[in-house]
A and B are shown apart, each in its own frame.
Chain A
Amino acid sequence: RKEVEQDPGPFNVPEGATVAFNCTYSNSASQSFFWYRQDCRKEPKLLMSVYSSGNEDGRFTAQLNRASQYISLLIRDSKLSDSATYLCVGVYTGGFKTIFGAGTRLFVKA
């Protein structure tokens, strides 16, 4: 079993739709979690951190449930420019070892 698992998708949604991605992790030593965005085999870039209390940044909301070892990302009012691969990332206690999920592909269509 992978340490960080994501639904690979692809998710095909129309502009304006709300879409939710899920991620589960198996190693409770993972301390911190993040969502990264990757465009077409370019370098990943940080989208947002994930906290138990939730984290909202404009149209994006991320949530961590430590009891269920579950992470979510919600995108509201999808834009064409949101089309990308979204990577769920866990960082181990100590801040050095990093585990990436395989990514979820999103296509937003006009």
Chain B
Amino acid sequence: EAQVTQNPRYLITVTGKKLTVTCSQNMNHEYMSWYRQDPGLGLRQIYYSMNVEVTDKGDVPEGYKVSRKEKRNFPLILESPSPNQTSLYFCASRGGATMIEQFFGPGTRLTVL
């Protein structure tokens, strides 16, 4: 089954404790992206990757890191999480720049205390 998976789905952590949210897709997609969704603000793009080893900042990259060492994986790293990073996070992938549809993972609900 073609899909985007994220882990964990739910996470409660404390300020300053490094964490990684994994994202994996099995569709051989070139393009992957991370978003956060907050009430009243919609989805905001954190980082995106056009291919292996190629990443760029979205609208809200502060406090986040990403890496793209393999085509299928695009982890999101919070080196020192803060309460303002409490949010619902979605990973997405797409076949390429000319492909239309982004496929989203099920989301990761993160709470930073």
Which A residues are within 8 Å of any B CB, using their own CB?
Answer: 8, 32, 34, 41-46, 49, 87, 94-103
Q: Give Cα distance in the complex from A100 to B37, angstroms.
A: 10
Can you identify 9 A-B contacts, CB atoms within 8 angstroms? Answer: A42-B107, A43-B105, A43-B106, A43-B107, A46-B100, A97-B45, A99-B45, A100-B43, A102-B41
B106 in complex: contacting residue of A42, A87, A98, CB < 8 Å: A42
Of listed A43, A46, A95, residue having the most chain B CB within 10 A: A43
Residues of A within 8 A of B88 (CB): 41
Least Cβ–Cβ distance between A62 and chain B, in angstroms: 13
A96/B56 in contact, CB under 8 A: yes
Give the residues in chain B near A101, CB-CB below 8 Å.
42
In the assembled complex, the Cα of A94 lies from the Cα of B31 at a distance in Å of: 12
Option from B40, B42, B90, B97 in Cβ contact (under 8 Å) with A96 = B97
With an 8 Å Cβ cutoff, the count of chain B residues facing the other chain is 27
Residue in contact with B31 in the complex, picked from A34, A49, A96, CB distance below 8 Å: A96
Indicate if the CB atoms of A87 and B58 lie closer than 8 Å.
Answer: no
Interface SS of chain A: helix, strand, loop or mixed? loop
A97 and B43: CB pair below 8 A? no
A102 touches B42 (CB 8 A): yes
**By the criterion CB–CB under 8 Å, are B100 and A99 in contact?**
no
Given A94-B97, A96-B97, A97-B45, list of 19 further CB < 8 A pairs? Answer: A34-B100, A42-B106, A43-B90, A43-B104, A44-B104, A45-B104, A87-B42, A95-B97, A96-B31, A98-B33, A98-B48, A99-B45, A99-B59, A100-B35, A100-B42, A100-B44, A100-B45, A101-B42, A102-B41
